[in-house]
Amino acid sequence: MLTLRPEILNTRPGDRVLDLGCGEGRHTIGLACLQAIELHAVDLSYRDLHTGRGKARELGEPVFSRVAFMNADGTRLPYCDNTFDAVICSEVLEHIPDYRTVIIELLRVLRPGGALVVSVPRWWPERVCWWLSDDYHANEGGHIRIFRHRALQADIEQLGARRFRRHWAHALHSPYWWLQCLFWRSRERNPLVRIYHRLLVWDMLSAPGLTRTLERWLNPVMGKSVVLYFEKQH
């Protein structure tokens, strides 16, 4: 399930790409399956990195050889300046107290003219989640803020990048998270949550035209995530 659109990222064979806060590697592995690029997947969770490495290994060569998983802190990245042709930071900044320092680091390791892709939960679907359940966000590693995308864009542009594209993603996931929040304490056994989850899994695996078209229409209205694309200035 890719939040970004690879055709907008516009990587080329041989490019080096950083995926900060990679989790179990959905973007890293997805991009490695599409193109012969060098991917560096960075996260604080050893468990997620181990799971992601296992998933990449299951896909065999050449996918596994394209990906390097590393445990590192986004506020102190172990890379030289101008290392990467593109940088991805998807659904990460809402978890981080000092998110501006992370943005500075991402731009430091990105070459001039390279693409930075940032996605965060969209303001109003996320606000509904917070309204329905405190437990959704008030837990270790949870969301500590709700971004307004224009304010986030202004922050990143002040640090030396120019936004060139924006879109929304995962509209069909918004109701799922609202249901989870509404039935938070019983969500794992709630029939509505379980049925909707099966629908999402079926949609991701089958990609039927009807739901793909429906989500494309609904994304501008209720997309769960907003995705911002920037170019690093000189």
> Span 35-39, mean pLDDT?
96
pLDDT band at residue 140 using 50, 70 and 90 as cut-offs:
confident
| pLDDT reading at 222 higher than 90 | yes
Cα–Cα–Cα angle for 167, 205, 118, nearest 5°?
25
* Sheet hosting strand 67-71, strand order edge to edge: 67-71, 38-43, 16-20, 84-90, 110-121, 225-232, 161-169
Q: What are the contacts of 214-217 at 24+ separation with CB within 8 A?
A: 214/172, 215/170, 215/171, 215/172
pTM tops 0.75, yes or no: yes
3-state class of 51 per DSSP? helix
pLDDT band at residue 139 using 50, 70 and 90 as cut-offs:
confident
pLDDT band at residue 20 using 50, 70 and 90 as cut-offs:
very high
CA distances from residue 46 to 111, 186, 214 in whole angstroms, order as listed: 28, 28, 37
pLDDT of residue 58: 95
| pLDDT reading at 48 higher than 90 | yes
pLDDT of residue 1: 82
Dihedral sign computed on CA atoms, order 18, 219, 211, 193: positive
What CATH number is given for 6-122+140-171+223-232 in this structure? 3.40.50.150
- How far apart are the C-alpha atoms of 220 and 169, rounded to whole Å? 8
> Span 26-43, mean pLDDT?
96
Name the burial class of residue 76, with classes exposed (0-12), middle (13-18) and buried (19+) by CB atoms within 10 angstroms of its CB. exposed
For the chain, what are the domain ranges?
A: 6-122+140-171+223-232
pLDDT band at residue 7 using 50, 70 and 90 as cut-offs:
very high
Average pLDDT, the chain: 96
| pLDDT reading at 125 higher than 90 | yes
Q: How does pLDDT run across 161-189, given as a tens digit for each residue?
A: 999 999 999 999 999 999 999 999 999 99
| pLDDT reading at 138 higher than 90 | no
173 bridge partner residues: none
Which residues touch 119 (CB under 8 Å, ≥6 apart)? 3, 4, 89, 90, 91, 169, 225, 226, 227, 228
Which one-letter amino acid corresponds to residue 219?
N
- How far apart are the C-alpha atoms of 166 and 69, rounded to whole Å? 28
Higher per-residue confidence, 142 vs 47: 47
